[in-house]
A and B are shown apart, each in its own frame.
Chain A
Amino acid sequence: MNLAVIFQAIINGISIGFVYSIVALGLTLIWGTMRIINFAHGDFLMMGMYATFWIFMLIKIDPLLSCLLIVMPVSFGAGLLYYRVILKHILKREVITQILATFGVGIILQSIAMFFWKPDYRIIRGNILSGTFRFVGISIGIPQFVTSIICIIAMLALFYFLNRTKTGLAIRATTLNKEAAALVGINIENIYYLVVGIGISLVGLAGNLLTNYYYVFPNVGMSFALFAYVIIVLGGLGSVKGALAGGLILGIVTSLTGAFLNPAFKYIAVFLVYLMVVVIKPEGLGGR
């Protein structure tokens, strides 16, 4: 097989891997602090994509602009609402209740998309980010390239926030030990609001960036969410660096499977990675 094809596949894998990482970051933050796996995560991604799509189609605001101005703040608000209406009530319930409730939210979001926008595949045309450029024989899509850069910036910002600011440190303290954090005067409730808000706005960001070059349809969240679950297991639960590494690994794996076998088989490759990790190293690659 041609070496250029392999490189091309790896580059493509890295660019989609950044998006996977951003989706997984939101999930891993929520899991880390609240011990709930958000089974509606992919559907929030889908909603972010539809929001970006319709903002572009109806009021002609480019995805690049609507990202910080509209989509991220709105998804932050949606996150707060999500916590207030659903997550708050299931925090200390049985695992099956948590799975069913978050799942139920996902189904509702999907059915809303299905009802209003039909199961059609839609894609944006004429946005700012389009076209490709060539770099040492490898063609790189401009939207993918810019998306990767924005993802890196977002991750650095989150890393800075979690490690250098007081609020960020409070979040990490809550992640490590709820009771002790409450004892030193951290308002756990507010931390939960903040974390769900940040988690959902990250997913909104990922949806917004994806819309630049990816199809939008009601079930689009499914595959991204599945990959995000695999990533957070791969990278170690609650780990930011792990989410980045896991996202890139998964991006490359799916892209290589697509290039050499059949794009339809990427689920199988991902599931095999998942099984390998949970069997060999259940605490994840970043775990102790």
Chain B
Amino acid sequence: MHFSNFQNNKTMKKFILFLIVILIIIFPTIITQPYILHIMIMVFIYAILGGAWNILSGYAGQVSLGNAMFFGLGAYASSVLWLFYNINPWIGMIIGGLFAVAFGIFLGMPVFRLRRQYLAIATIAASQIIMTIFLNWEYVKGASGLALPLMPNSLKHMTFLYGKNGFYFISLAILIFFTFVVFVITKTKLGYYFRTIKEEEDSARSIGINTTQYKLVAISITAFFSAIAGTVYAQYFLYIDPNMVFSLRVSFLIVLISAFGGTATIFGPILGACVLIPINEMARMFFGGAGRGIDLFSFGILILVVAIYRPAGLVSLFYGKEKLAIRENLPGKDGKVDGENENIES
């Protein structure tokens, strides 16, 4: 045997991946039901959001529970520019992304001094504040939301009133590009810095890594791609209000997609979105307003099961035994608890 089992496996995997990508690209020509395509678009958008969360919280370990704020800022930035200043949504998408990056850095500078739990609290609080501001801000029409102008179908204006194919390919293209970016990050120094910050922050600092700076890099990438997904979302629905984009529900869903699929993996968030978003959309369709809470309930159960029984996520089902053992044996299991040397007083 010339080929070792390992290499064989790798070519096989590449081939399967290639097949899946081809299948996804020709998908809209085979299946034309708008509802299915709608679910696929939502899967792509949430896969980007989950993946973006994964950079900051999965790889760099800075758990954010308020990622909806970047999503919403992106959606609002491009919509306001389009509606009030007549700036093309494509340009608005980039401006919105940069705006979210600026906000992320502004937020990150003070809060990245905090250890994990405090950081999570700070991100919830920040997202709540942003939502409160947008709900009470006359300029963006408060709770009644913004309706975007109806334009004739054109790629230039990111408007496709008839058919879903336009947004299917736009969101797919962004997802593929984003996945490529994540792949590059994991293969370069940056990815290793992130992982070091996650596993051993103090050691990272002691060998001269400027941890705050790399956390800011992480939040910038996260904010940028979340905001881009926000613009696509706003253009797709042609309407946004603060509850659609800023609510805690969105933040939960983002965290859950990534945690369910597998944190700190490239395909985890995509897998998570493929499983959870259809459930979410179906629950909305079948139960509607009457059965509110059923979808939340199933999310809660899923979070619990994944957190307690399979911390490595769904993607670990595809791992071999060795890799699983490495991933499951994460720090914290040896009895070391974070923040052990905090001050305590009673």
Interface residues of A (CB under 8 A from B): 32, 35, 37, 39, 86, 89-97, 99-101, 103-108, 110-115, 118-119, 162-163, 172, 175-176, 218, 222, 226, 229-230, 233, 236-240, 242, 262, 264-265, 267-268, 270-271, 274-275, 278-279, 282-284, 286-288
Q: How far is the CB of A282 from chain B (nearest CB, A)?
A: 7
The 5 closest A-B pairs by CB, nearest first: A114-B293, A104-B303, A115-B293, A108-B300, A111-B296
Q: Which residues of A contact B128 (CB under 8 A)?
A: 222, 226, 267
Q: How far is the CB of B166 from chain A (nearest CB, A)?
A: 34
Q: Which residues of B contact A119 (CB under 8 A)?
A: 292
B: contact size bracket: 35 or more
B292–A115 touching, CB < 8 Å: yes
Q: Kindly state whether residue B252 has any CB partner on chain A within 8 Å.
A: yes
Contacts A237-B344, A271-B129, A279-B113: A100 and B121 contacting too (C-beta < 8 A)? no
Q: Which residues of B contact A103 (CB under 8 A)?
A: 65, 252, 255, 303
Q: Which residues of A contact B252 (CB under 8 A)?
A: 103, 107
Residue among B111, B125, B330 with most chain A CB within 10 A: B125
A104–B301 touching, CB < 8 Å: yes
Interface residues of B (CB under 8 A from A): 57, 61, 63, 65, 110-111, 113-114, 116-118, 120-122, 124-126, 128-129, 132-133, 135-136, 248, 252, 255, 259, 263, 291-297, 299-304, 306-308, 311, 330-333, 335, 337-340, 342-346
A107 and B300 CA atoms in complex are apart in Å by 5
A278–B65 touching, CB < 8 Å: no
19 contacts between A and B (CB under 8 A): A35-B339, A37-B120, A90-B307, A92-B333, A94-B330, A94-B333, A95-B117, A97-B311, A99-B117, A101-B303, A110-B296, A226-B128, A237-B342, A268-B132, A270-B125, A274-B122, A275-B111, A282-B113, A287-B345
Nearest CB to that of A29 among chain B residues? B346
A99 and B308 CA atoms in complex are apart in Å by 11
Q: Which residues of B contact A282 (CB under 8 A)?
A: 113-114
Q: Give the contacting residue for A90; candidates B117, B308, B340; CB below 8 A.
A: B308
A285 and B1 CA atoms in complex are apart in Å by 69
A105–B300 touching, CB < 8 Å: yes
Q: Give the contacting residue for A95; candidates B114, B308, B338; CB below 8 A.
A: B338
A94–B331 touching, CB < 8 Å: yes
Q: How far is the CB of B50 from chain A (nearest CB, A)?
A: 14
B343–A226 touching, CB < 8 Å: no
A265–B132 touching, CB < 8 Å: yes
Nearest CB to that of B125 among chain A residues? A271
A97–B110 touching, CB < 8 Å: no
A286–B345 touching, CB < 8 Å: yes
Q: Which residues of B contact A270 (CB under 8 A)?
A: 125
Nearest CB to that of A37 among chain B residues? B117
Q: How far is the CB of B271 from chain A (nearest CB, A)?
A: 17
Nearest CB to that of A100 among chain B residues? B307
Q: Give the contacting residue for B332; candidates A32, A93, A162; CB below 8 A.
A: A93
Q: Which residues of B contact A112 (CB under 8 A)?
A: 293, 297
Q: With contacts A172-B346, A176-B344 known, what are 18 further pairs, Cβ within 8 A?
A: A39-B120, A92-B333, A94-B311, A94-B330, A95-B63, A100-B303, A100-B306, A103-B65, A103-B255, A104-B299, A104-B302, A111-B296, A115-B294, A226-B121, A239-B346, A240-B346, A282-B113, A287-B343
